Structure 1
Amino acid sequence: MIIQSLLDTDLYKFTMMQVVLHQYPAAQVEYRFRCRTPGVDLAPLVGRIREELRGLCSLRFTEEELAYLGSLRFIDSDFVDFLGLFQLNAKYVTVEPSAKGNGEIEIVIAGPWLHTIMFEVPLLAIVNELYYRATCPGLDLDEGRARLRAKIELLRDTRGYESARIADYGTRRRFSQAWHEEMLRVMKRDLGAQLAGTSNVWLAMRLGLVPIGSMAHEYLQAFQSLGPRLRDSQTAALEAWAREYRGDLGIALSDVYGLDAFLRDFDMYFCKLFDGARHDSGDPIVWGDRVLAHYEANRVDPRTKTLVFSDSLDIPRVMELHRHFAGRCLLSFGVGTNLTNDVGPEPINIVIKMTRCNGQPVAKLSDSPGKSMGTEDPDYVAYLRRVFEMPAQNAGNTAPP
């Protein structure tokens, strides 16, 4: 069984789930799978995915795992009690070959947000690992080990980057669970303090690393339905987060409606309340310069705030960004696929994104071509773009699920 623990997922699933439990327990959602890499034949894997799904739905949190979650300062005891009773249910998930007959597959997750939020990351990890088992069985990982060693040496041994710290964000697109763990063990040993932690809660617990994460795109997307009105949905999401965590876990995600809309909503109150912001699409240098200027315009010292970069990073890109922003703010770098799936074969780009909440379409309108995702309803996407004053060149960027 690929997934052996319900902790084998990203921390932000737990932090968002706690908000859902306390504030939106009745919300109903839908998620859909998409492979962004063309020409990938996943249809032969459908039966194996279903088997792994059944295994995933047999798991329960152990007492050791619950105690670990309870030790995290931002996790409430009633949420831990809830998780003690929690179990994923396969009735909320359908896995089918695409009706197009082109090798694509359709994975749809639909049901209560509280009971479906934990499917995304393990299902993606399952699809990814099954794909590489099928396409490169018995792969010698020496190439991956050599690449990892070169990355570690580049970051560790280049003068001037001693303060550059990276975290692992790669659970969903990892080559395999075994490689993920081996990679983190090597990085912990050889990078020392330059390894800030991992988004994977299970491996953080087992390896004594810091679990890292706050909110994901689905959280802000859901407020297109949950918020008081569409134009105020981003503000409502940030307010709900502040109610839940009272200043903790203060990294705001900035790219659900593009940077312009984010900065319009991220006023002086939020600038002071949140610890920083996370970049996940668009030019990171342009983004960072604008966010730091925004802090200054709101009379906030940017040197006290954290910029988190997490969009398709590799070590040279981390070093470039560190060189540009060091001394101007606090910095954090989340590296995903380039760490967990750089062993030789080309990585595939797969996602599961929320497409509906409470029966209403929801979407993400990205600053990067190809990263937008959500509903297939073009009228809703056009309306969303008008409401958030998205520039015309983004009109074609929203891909159907």
Structure 2
Amino acid sequence: MIIRSLLDTDLYKFTMMQVVLHQYPAAQVEYRFRCRTPGIDLVPLIDSIRDELAALCSLRFTEEELAYLGSLRFIHSDFVDFLGLFQLNAKYVSIEPSATAPGEIEIVISGPWLHTIMFEVPLLAIVNELYFRANHPGASLDEGRARLRAKIAMLRDTPGYEQVRIADYGTRRRFSQAWHGEVLSVLKDELGPQLAGTSNVWFAMRNGLVPIGSMAHEYLQAFQSLGPRLRDSQTAALEAWAREYRGDLGIALSDVYGLDAFLRDFDMYFCKLFDGARHDSGDPIRWGDRVLAHYENNRVDPRTKTLVFSDSLDIPRVMELYRHFAGRCLLSFGVGTNLTNDVGPQALNIVIKMTRCNGQPVAKLSDSPGKSMGVEDPDYMAYLRRVFELPPP
């Protein structure tokens, strides 16, 4: 059994789920799996994935876990009560071989948003671990340990980088659950205060680390159906977040419609209300320079705001970004696959993204080629670009 706790997921699943419970409990959604790594045959894993899904759906939150969630300042007591009754249901998930692409699989999650939002991260972790068990059964973790020690030494021992803090964002693409735990234990012991925390709630609870996260792409995508009109969907999503958290969890995700559209919507009100913004696609230095200039143009001191970088980071990239932005703003770095799946074999690039909400298509227009979601519906993608005044891809 790969997933042994419903807390073994990213914090932003809980923070988004709380908004869904309070504001959109009737929303119906669809998610789809995609493997961006070419030439990967996942079909032989289907039966094992189904078995792990059944095990996942047998889990319930324990009293200890509920008490931990209730101790987080932004989690409401009624949400904890709801989670005490919560259980995932496999009827919302189908796992089949692709009918059009040999070797590929189709995982479709469809049902109430409130009851399907928790599938994504554990399912991705399951696919990853099963793949590496099947294809690299003899992989030694000694190479991973050596690489991890080198990363720690680079960050900890290079003069001028003592204030750099990183967080683990690596649950969904980890080599294994056991390796994830070892990585976090070593990081905690060796980096000390330079480890800001982890996105994984279970490991945060077990290791006394800070759980980190706010919103993901699916949250803003859903408002393409939930919002008052499509052009106002990004603004509506940020407004709903502010209603829920009243200034807490104030990191806005900036790349669902690209940076140009984000900055048009992120006006002086949002600049002052939110603590900062997260980068997840496109050139990070160009992105950061533009966001800081946007704060200045809106009469907000950028030194009081946080830029969060989380797109395919490794330690050298973290240090490069720190050199460029240090002293100009507050900084946070989320490192994922490079921490939890850098043991030798090539890591998989797999995602599960929302594709429909309330029967309507939803999409993501990324600043990075290959990260857009919704390309299966080119007419809707083109319409979305026109509405948000974006150039053709």
TM-score band, normalised by shorter chain: over 0.9
**Match status 1:186 vs 2:186:** yes
Structure 1 residue 101 displacement after superposition: 5.2
Aligned to 2:172: 172
Structure 1 residue 378 displacement after superposition: 1.3
| Residues 97, 330 of structure 1: alpha-carbon distance in 2 compared, 3 angstrom cutoff | same
Q: Structure 2: which amino acid aligns with 1:135?
A: N
Q: Is 1:355–1:375's contact at 8 Å kept on the other side of the alignment? A: no
Matches within 5 A, 1:213-292: 213-292=213-292
Q: Which runs of 5+ in 1 are unaligned?
A: 395-401
Structure 1 residue 118 displacement after superposition: 0.1
Aligned to 2:75: 75
Secondary structure of the corresponding residue to residue 193 of structure 2: helix
Q: Which runs of 5+ in 2 are unaligned?
A: none
Q: Structure 2 CA distance, aligned partners of 1:170 and 1:145?
A: 16
Secondary structure of the corresponding residue to residue 334 of structure 2: strand
Structure 1 residue 29 displacement after superposition: 0.1
Q: Structure 2 CA distance, aligned partners of 1:33 and 1:203?
A: 25
Q: Structure 2 CA distance, aligned partners of 1:144 and 1:273?
A: 41
Q: Structure 2: which amino acid aligns with 1:28?
A: Q
Q: Structure 2: which amino acid aligns with 1:260?
A: D
Matches within 5 A, 1:130-209: 130-209=130-209
Q: Structure 2: which amino acid aligns with 1:30?
A: E
Aligned to 1:339: 339
Aligned to 1:399: none
**Match status 1:314 vs 2:314:** yes
Q: Structure 2 CA distance, aligned partners of 1:274 and 1:391?
A: 28
Q: Structure 1: which amino acid aligns with 2:214?
A: S
Q: Structure 1 CA distance, aligned partners of 2:65 and 2:16?
A: 18
Aligned to 2:103: 103
Aligned to 1:398: none
| Residues 60, 375 of structure 1: alpha-carbon distance in 2 compared, 3 angstrom cutoff | farther
Q: Structure 1 CA distance, aligned partners of 2:163 and 2:355?
A: 39
**Match status 1:365 vs 2:365:** yes
Q: Structure 1 CA distance, aligned partners of 2:378 and 2:347?
A: 30
Structure 1 residue 374 displacement after superposition: 2.5
**Is the deviation greater in 324-333 or in 383-392?**
383-392
Structure 1 residue 100 displacement after superposition: 2.5
Aligned to 1:113: 113
Q: Structure 2: which amino acid aligns with 1:80?
A: V
Deviation track 1:282-314 (CA, whole Å, cap 9, x = no partner) reads 000000000000000000000000000000000
- TM-score, length basis structure 1: 0.97
Secondary structure of the corresponding residue to residue 374 of structure 1: coil
Q: Structure 2 CA distance, aligned partners of 1:316 and 1:381?
A: 35
Q: Structure 1: which amino acid aligns with 2:68?
A: Y
Q: Structure 1: which amino acid aligns with 2:81?
A: D
Structure 1 residue 379 displacement after superposition: 1.1
Structure 1 residue 237 displacement after superposition: 0.1
Q: Structure 2 CA distance, aligned partners of 1:341 and 1:185?
A: 15
Q: Structure 1: which amino acid aligns with 2:266?
A: F
Q: Structure 1 CA distance, aligned partners of 2:374 and 2:250?
A: 25
**Match status 1:391 vs 2:391:** yes
Deviation track 1:187-246 (CA, whole Å, cap 9, x = no partner) reads 000000000000000000001000000000000000000000000000000000000000
Q: Structure 2: which amino acid aligns with 1:294?
A: H
Aligned to 2:353: 353
**Match status 1:296 vs 2:278:** no
Deviation track 1:308-364 (CA, whole Å, cap 9, x = no partner) reads 000000000000000000000000000000000000000110000000000000000
Q: Structure 2 CA distance, aligned partners of 1:359 and 1:288?
A: 36
Q: Is 1:168–1:334's contact at 8 Å kept on the other side of the alignment? A: yes
Secondary structure of the corresponding residue to residue 355 of structure 1: strand
Matches within 5 A, 1:318-329: 318-329=318-329
Aligned to 1:39: 39
Q: Structure 2 CA distance, aligned partners of 1:129 and 1:103?
A: 18
Q: Structure 1 CA distance, aligned partners of 2:122 and 2:101?
A: 25
Q: Is 1:361–1:375's contact at 8 Å kept on the other side of the alignment? A: no
Q: Structure 1 CA distance, aligned partners of 2:257 and 2:330?
A: 24
Q: Is 1:173–1:340's contact at 8 Å kept on the other side of the alignment? A: yes
Q: Structure 1: which amino acid aligns with 2:73?
A: R
Q: Is 1:356–1:375's contact at 8 Å kept on the other side of the alignment? A: no
Q: Is 1:74–1:245's contact at 8 Å kept on the other side of the alignment? A: yes
Q: Structure 2 CA distance, aligned partners of 1:181 and 1:134?
A: 21
Q: Structure 1 CA distance, aligned partners of 2:372 and 2:346?
A: 22
Q: Is 1:362–1:375's contact at 8 Å kept on the other side of the alignment? A: no
Residues paired across the two proteins, number: 393
Q: Structure 2: which amino acid aligns with 1:207?
A: N
RMSD: 0.6
**Match status 1:55 vs 2:55:** yes
Aligned to 1:24: 24
Q: Structure 2 CA distance, aligned partners of 1:388 and 1:357?
A: 19
Q: Structure 2: which amino acid aligns with 1:337?
A: T
Deviation track 1:117-157 (CA, whole Å, cap 9, x = no partner) reads 00000000000000000001132100000000000000000
Structure 1 residue 99 displacement after superposition: 1.1
Q: Structure 2 CA distance, aligned partners of 1:390 and 1:221?
A: 16
Structure 1 residue 390 displacement after superposition: 1.4
Q: Is 1:355–1:362's contact at 8 Å kept on the other side of the alignment? A: yes
Which aligned runs of 4 or more in structure 1 are off by greater than 4 angstroms?
none
Q: Is 1:17–1:114's contact at 8 Å kept on the other side of the alignment? A: yes
Q: Structure 2: which amino acid aligns with 1:233?
A: S
Q: Structure 1: which amino acid aligns with 2:63?
A: E
Q: Structure 2: which amino acid aligns with 1:137?
A: P
Q: Structure 2 CA distance, aligned partners of 1:374 and 1:207?
A: 38
Secondary structure of the corresponding residue to residue 382 of structure 1: helix
